A and B are shown apart, each in its own frame.
Chain A
Amino acid sequence: MIEIKNVTKKYGDFTAIENLSLKIEESSIYGLVGYNGAGKTTLLKTAIGMFKANKGKVLVDGENVYDNEEIRKSMFFVPDEIYFLPQANILDMSKFYKGFYPKWNDNIRKRLTELFRLDEKERIAKFSKGMQRQTAIILALSSKPKYLLLDELFDGLDPVIRRVVRELLIEVISETKTTVMVSTHNLRELEDLCDHIGIINNKKIIYDNSTDEIGNNKFRCKVILENKSKLEDYSSINLRKLKISGKIATFIASEREEILDKKLALINPLLVEKVPLSLEEVLLEEMEVEDYDFKGLFN
């Protein structure tokens, strides 16, 4: 289990994450979502023990992870900027990682290389960005880590490979009980992949829930009353973006479905339309994305 406890990380005067806490259960896939520069990479690098937190600590299996050699032998981090030795091929990189990861499995490496149809004797520098990311995934999975941290996992991967990777990760978890922490911008991929989602914004985790819960506690609602709608009618509901137009009211409710239904029943609606929010909508909603005004920009 990865426990992030009240972690604050600063770059000079700039605070990247502040007093952030998070728990990632074993054998789960945790998806981390946030704006560019929200602190996803900082959180991952602190979680792997590369960065030292200014405050708080990261515990992995109950031990402080910072500069902890033993713990890190069971962790593999695939960063957004991937490093390969100069002029190295997959075999060279395998030798490189094999020395640091005691559970390294060449068989996995071979099979995955074939799966991704990569030439393991070709210099990696010649690979495309997507192929290099595939290589990193091969190396990561071959090391058989207990904890796998993946930054911008799907960057540069084509849709087919994305699907393969997604399935691979699911397979890994089911077979090896690996815990995966993944950050990405590709919300749709996360939705299908992760069993837990965290949204990082304004230096903090502002949303942390299982993917099952996402469809069960955020709804876009349209309510039609018999008489003209009033603000007081909806005061008991935890909602945002309420718009009233005569008898019709629209809003986004943050309530569990059964509770929401009960509260709506109290105002005797003629009609209720209730649609669960998608992950992307939840992200936009939680992060209060403002509307940008581009009018006249290119005149």
Chain B
Amino acid sequence: MTLKDSLTKKNVIIHNFKIALKQNIVTTVLSIITLTLAMAIPAIMYLRQYIGKDAKVCEFSDMRFSVVYILIVALIGIIQAIVTFKFLYKRSAVNTYFSIGVNRSTLYKTRVLAGTLSTFISVLVPFIILVLINLVFSSSVGLVLSYAGFLFIGMFVTAIMAYAITTLICSLTYTKAESVIYSILANLFPTLILSGLNGLMSAFLWGNTYGINNSFNYDFHGSLITHYTKLNPLLFFNKYFSNYSSYRESMPMENLFRAELLFLPIIMFFIAILIITIARKTFIKRRVENTGIIGTSKILANIVIATAMFAGFSAFMYFTRTGSYPMSVETATLLGILFTTIIYVSFAFPLRVVSKRNLKGLILFPINLIVFFVILGIINTGGLGYTNYIPELESIESMEISYRGLPDTALFGGQSGGIDTYLFENNEAIMLKDLDDIKLAITLHEKLISQGWIDPKFDYENPKEFVIRNMTLVYYNLKNGKRITRLYPIATLGLFKEMLILDETKAFNILFSSIMDINEEEFNSIATKSENALIIVQGFPLATGKIYIKESLSKTLHLIGESEEMANEIRQAIKIDFLNSITNEKYFPNEVEKYHLYFVRDHYNDLPKEIIPSTNFQIYPFGIVTFIVNPTYINTIEVIEKYYKSEGEEIESLYIVGNYNDPLAERNSTEACPFYKTGIMRISDALSTLPEGFIKIDDSEKIKELYDLTRGIYHISDGGYMVYAKLKGEFYVITRYIPRDLLPTEFKEQLASK
């Protein structure tokens, strides 16, 4: 090549580059405006509180919406690529660009270079603006620049990755519509596949812990998407962006930027370069004669359609199996096939993968379905050993398990639902380290595994076989540092009751003792050292709160543990009684309870004077724990009666309302209790609205006989009977429960005849 040729070639490259760059200008300007506004507005909103404070802070966006920023940046990459290669979809433009004095490789390279530069500018300018904004408020230039530099690199690589993927798609497609649809789906490909798999796992894999809604801070690994986020070209920077989009001086040091954090963006950048290189080859081999003809990229179309089908199929299966009205597997499957067919038809025909004249492509539809069902089959039969896996006993360092016993109801604090308060699952798992404790827990875990997926069921003739939705967590911490997690969202009432035996583990004994022994000063130091720290902290009202007493047939509270000595005396008595009781006595006492104790933290001492009556461990707004004193708690009763004299309330009349079933006091649902549309708390003060037809008893002897049959909240799990006790001279009613087996036959018959 002569010097003149070389110069001519260089000029052609520069000329072609300028043309491409010019075509991307509008997109670049719009991208800059969009990204700048999206990031700067929340940043300024936050930073303005530091006006004149010379603070060491920086803020580049609203970290809560990191995914939105990631998507904006990815979209910039996608649009820049489509604009860069839009000429490929216009026949006349192709006639020109592929006949002028520039070869395909140079054409591609100069275009990509122009598109990359446009993308770079689109992301860089907003960050420069954000840096300037931050420098107005922040005292640390270094901090602002290092954070901005890191965020920019990550976001630019995200955009370039989207750009590279879209470039590859553009080089393989021949119409603009296809390039747009396929590019979006290709960028979402890992996300769609992983969410599809996760959807099926959530609905069909017994014990699955991926993709669980983490509203209780379960220590899981997130969804498959978050678990494999580092491998996801679209979302790999999401977590980093969320973590490093702002800095406060109060942040722990480990959140400071470190150079090694650049490793992943650099790796992703090279992957993007690799994709761009592959796209160059497909661009060079491009059959320009197909320009403007839809349906010529059949392989790509089939991959994309299969992905969309799979995502739709699994989403449908997920919602039909786990939604408010779960369907049977058979119904869900049939509807899933129908839904998937709709997806297939709505893609395959418009994209000309199949046409009336060419029905060959239809063969892929059943093939796709077969693949989906094979995946579903693998997941539904235990995910290649996932469901049945229990680590070897020798390899287990410790184990954690949650159950609906005292730790879950009393120690863990309650959840306030606004007007009403419910016993609510917290599912903090108790840590077991003793070998016998672990063996016991493994036995229970095996029962959970063998139970498998079952549909919710309420057979009033067979309460033990009630099937209840309630999360049970199982963790294994292995000696090699690994952590095995399992979650079981449903089980029979019988199994839940069986699991109450975990109260007899050494771990529970130590935990309960330590809570009852802690004094206010020691609380924080002990709680933070304990392996069950969270349980202890959440059990703080029981450990340190003021003690109020209420009789079973009363609505009035009295402070009983005025002095610390008295309170400690009561706690010690409770500790002895509770730990000496066998599980069945604690939860299913043979006699009606005597007192309710309320443990209230000082700063929550505004307890209402007329509290809604409760029947057993009842959690009130955070900071208050109730404790039911059974007649077998001799020591506790003795201490209480040393300081408190019974007032004695009389029942004027008793109403037997009917079956009330609220297994584990979990839902207050109409499903559990077909008679009532509202929860048990509201029913309790609803005398004036009582419907007619219930059995009313006025005879005092009969009232006493029946009242003595009433029991605590665990009995309502058995499909027992709800009873209203109206107190003499009061408008108020107390809600009580009579276990199913204890209600005399005559009343059962009377109820049945109504």
> Across the interface, do A100 and B92 meet the contact criterion of CB distance under 8 Å?
no
- Contact residues of B between 11 and 31, Cβ < 8 Å to A: 11-12, 14-16, 18-19
> Across the interface, do A67 and B100 meet the contact criterion of CB distance under 8 Å?
no
Residues in chain B near residue A11, CB distance under 8 A: 289-290
Given A96-B19, A100-B101, A67 and B95 touching (CB < 8 A)? no
> Across the interface, do B92 and A79 meet the contact criterion of CB distance under 8 Å?
yes
> Across the interface, do A83 and B95 meet the contact criterion of CB distance under 8 Å?
yes
A99's contact among B15, B94, B99, B104, by CB below 8 Å, is which?
Answer: B15
Given A50-B98, A77-B95, A100-B101, A83 and B90 touching (CB < 8 A)? yes
- Contact residues of A between 47 and 103, Cβ < 8 Å to B: 48-52, 67-70, 72-77, 79, 81-83, 85, 96-102
> Across the interface, do B284 and A101 meet the contact criterion of CB distance under 8 Å?
no
A45 within 8 A of B: yes
B288 within 8 A of A: yes
> Across the interface, do A51 and B91 meet the contact criterion of CB distance under 8 Å?
no
B102 within 8 A of A: yes
> Across the interface, do B95 and A50 meet the contact criterion of CB distance under 8 Å?
yes
> Across the interface, do A67 and B91 meet the contact criterion of CB distance under 8 Å?
no
User: Which residue in chain B gives the minimum CB-CB distance to A84?
Assistant: B92
> Across the interface, do B289 and A102 meet the contact criterion of CB distance under 8 Å?
no
Residues in chain A near residue B261, CB distance under 8 A: none
A50's contact among B5, B19, B90, B288, by CB below 8 Å, is which?
Answer: B288
Residues in chain B near residue A99, CB distance under 8 A: 11-12, 14-16, 18-19
- Contact residues of B between 104 and 122, Cβ < 8 Å to A: 104, 106
Listed residue (B8, B18, B91, B104) with the most chain A CB atoms within 10 angstroms of its CB: B8
> Across the interface, do B284 and A102 meet the contact criterion of CB distance under 8 Å?
no
Complex Cα distance, B99 from A87, in Å, reads 22
User: Which residue in chain B gives the minimum CB-CB distance to A81?
Assistant: B92
- Contact residues of A between 157 and 202, Cβ < 8 Å to B: none
Residues in chain A near residue B94, CB distance under 8 A: 50
User: Which residue in chain B gives the minimum CB-CB distance to A82?
Assistant: B92
Residues in chain B near residue A76, CB distance under 8 A: 99
> Across the interface, do A81 and B91 meet the contact criterion of CB distance under 8 Å?
yes
Within the complex, the shortest CB–CB distance from B167 to chain A, in Å, comes to: 19
User: Which residue in chain A gives the minimum CB-CB distance to B15?
Assistant: A99
B670 within 8 A of A: no
Given A11-B289, A69-B106, A100-B12, A48 and B99 touching (CB < 8 A)? yes
> Across the interface, do B104 and A49 meet the contact criterion of CB distance under 8 Å?
no
Within the complex, the shortest CB–CB distance from B241 to chain A, in Å, comes to: 36
Complex Cα distance, B104 from A67, in Å, reads 6
User: Which residue in chain A gives the minimum CB-CB distance to B1?
Assistant: A70
A102's contact among B8, B92, B104, B288, by CB below 8 Å, is which?
Answer: B8
Within the complex, the shortest CB–CB distance from A90 to chain B, in Å, comes to: 15
B96 within 8 A of A: yes
User: Which residue in chain A gives the minimum CB-CB distance to B91?
Assistant: A81
Complex Cα distance, B95 from A77, in Å, reads 8
Residues in chain A near residue B362, CB distance under 8 A: none
User: Which residue in chain B gives the minimum CB-CB distance to A80?
Assistant: B95
B93 within 8 A of A: yes
Complex Cα distance, B286 from A52, in Å, reads 10
Within the complex, the shortest CB–CB distance from B88 to chain A, in Å, comes to: 12
Complex Cα distance, B289 from A67, in Å, reads 14
Complex Cα distance, B291 from A81, in Å, reads 13
Given A99-B12, A99-B15, A73 and B101 touching (CB < 8 A)? yes
B395 within 8 A of A: no
Within the complex, the shortest CB–CB distance from B645 to chain A, in Å, comes to: 94
Interface residues as binary, B258-290 with A (CB distance below 8 Å gives 1, 0 otherwise):
000000000000000000000000001001111
* B contacts with A, residue count (CB < 8 A): 30
Within the complex, the shortest CB–CB distance from B85 to chain A, in Å, comes to: 15
Within the complex, the shortest CB–CB distance from A55 to chain B, in Å, comes to: 15
Complex Cα distance, B98 from A270, in Å, reads 61
User: Which residue in chain A gives the minimum CB-CB distance to B87?
Assistant: A83
Listed residue (B19, B96, B104) with the most chain A CB atoms within 10 angstroms of its CB: B96
B101's contact among A45, A51, A69, A79, by CB below 8 Å, is which?
Answer: A69
Complex Cα distance, B103 from A72, in Å, reads 9
User: Which residue in chain B gives the minimum CB-CB distance to A83?
Assistant: B92
B15's contact among A42, A52, A85, A100, by CB below 8 Å, is which?
Answer: A100
User: Which residue in chain B gives the minimum CB-CB distance to A77?
Assistant: B99
Residues in chain A near residue B99, CB distance under 8 A: 45, 48-50, 72, 75-77, 79
Complex Cα distance, B16 from A70, in Å, reads 15
Complex Cα distance, B415 from A80, in Å, reads 75
Residues in chain B near residue A48, CB distance under 8 A: 99
Given A96-B19, A99-B16, A100-B12, A81 and B103 touching (CB < 8 A)? no
Residues in chain A near residue B8, CB distance under 8 A: 73, 102
Complex Cα distance, B11 from A106, in Å, reads 17
> Across the interface, do B92 and A45 meet the contact criterion of CB distance under 8 Å?
no
> Across the interface, do B12 and A81 meet the contact criterion of CB distance under 8 Å?
no
Within the complex, the shortest CB–CB distance from A75 to chain B, in Å, comes to: 7
> Across the interface, do B95 and A79 meet the contact criterion of CB distance under 8 Å?
yes
Residues in chain A near residue B288, CB distance under 8 A: 50-51
User: Which residue in chain A gives the minimum CB-CB distance to B8?
Assistant: A102
Residues in chain A near residue B106, CB distance under 8 A: 69
> Across the interface, do A100 and B102 meet the contact criterion of CB distance under 8 Å?
yes
Residues in chain B near residue A73, CB distance under 8 A: 8, 101
- Contact residues of B between 304 and 345, Cβ < 8 Å to A: none
Within the complex, the shortest CB–CB distance from A140 to chain B, in Å, comes to: 11
A83's contact among B14, B19, B93, B290, by CB below 8 Å, is which?
Answer: B93
A69's contact among B95, B102, B289, B290, by CB below 8 Å, is which?
Answer: B102
Within the complex, the shortest CB–CB distance from B399 to chain A, in Å, comes to: 63
Residues in chain B near residue A98, CB distance under 8 A: 15
> Across the interface, do A100 and B100 meet the contact criterion of CB distance under 8 Å?
yes
Complex Cα distance, B9 from A182, in Å, reads 29
User: Which residue in chain A gives the minimum CB-CB distance to B100?
Assistant: A100
Listed residue (B8, B95, B287, B290) with the most chain A CB atoms within 10 angstroms of its CB: B95
Complex Cα distance, B100 from A99, in Å, reads 10
User: Which residue in chain A gives the minimum CB-CB distance to B16?
Assistant: A99
Within the complex, the shortest CB–CB distance from A67 to chain B, in Å, comes to: 5
Interface residues as binary, B290-305 with A (CB distance below 8 Å gives 1, 0 otherwise):
1000000000000000
Listed residue (B8, B92, B284, B289) with the most chain A CB atoms within 10 angstroms of its CB: B289
> Across the interface, do A97 and B92 meet the contact criterion of CB distance under 8 Å?
no
Within the complex, the shortest CB–CB distance from B416 to chain A, in Å, comes to: 62
Complex Cα distance, B15 from A76, in Å, reads 18
Residues in chain B near residue A49, CB distance under 8 A: 99
Complex Cα distance, B13 from A100, in Å, reads 9
User: Which residue in chain A gives the minimum CB-CB distance to B106?
Assistant: A69
Residues in chain A near residue B16, CB distance under 8 A: 99-100
Within the complex, the shortest CB–CB distance from A156 to chain B, in Å, comes to: 14
Complex Cα distance, B101 from A74, in Å, reads 8
Within the complex, the shortest CB–CB distance from B108 to chain A, in Å, comes to: 11
Residues in chain A near residue B93, CB distance under 8 A: 83
> Across the interface, do A97 and B289 meet the contact criterion of CB distance under 8 Å?
no
Given A67-B103, A99-B15, A100-B100, A51 and B289 touching (CB < 8 A)? yes
Residues in chain B near residue A97, CB distance under 8 A: 100
Can you list 18 A-B contacts (CB < 8 A)? A45-B99, A50-B95, A52-B287, A67-B284, A69-B12, A69-B102, A69-B106, A72-B99, A74-B101, A75-B99, A79-B96, A81-B95, A82-B92, A83-B92, A96-B19, A99-B15, A100-B100, A102-B8
Given contacts A50-B95, A79-B92, 19 further A-B contacts (CB under 8 A): A45-B95, A51-B288, A67-B103, A67-B284, A68-B103, A69-B12, A69-B106, A70-B101, A72-B103, A76-B99, A77-B95, A81-B91, A81-B92, A83-B92, A83-B93, A96-B19, A99-B14, A99-B18, A102-B8
Which B residues fall within an 8 A CB radius of A? Answer: 5, 8-9, 11-12, 14-16, 18-19, 90-96, 98-104, 106, 284, 287-290
Query: Which 3 A/B pairs are nearest by Cβ-Cβ distance?
Result: A99-B15, A73-B101, A83-B92
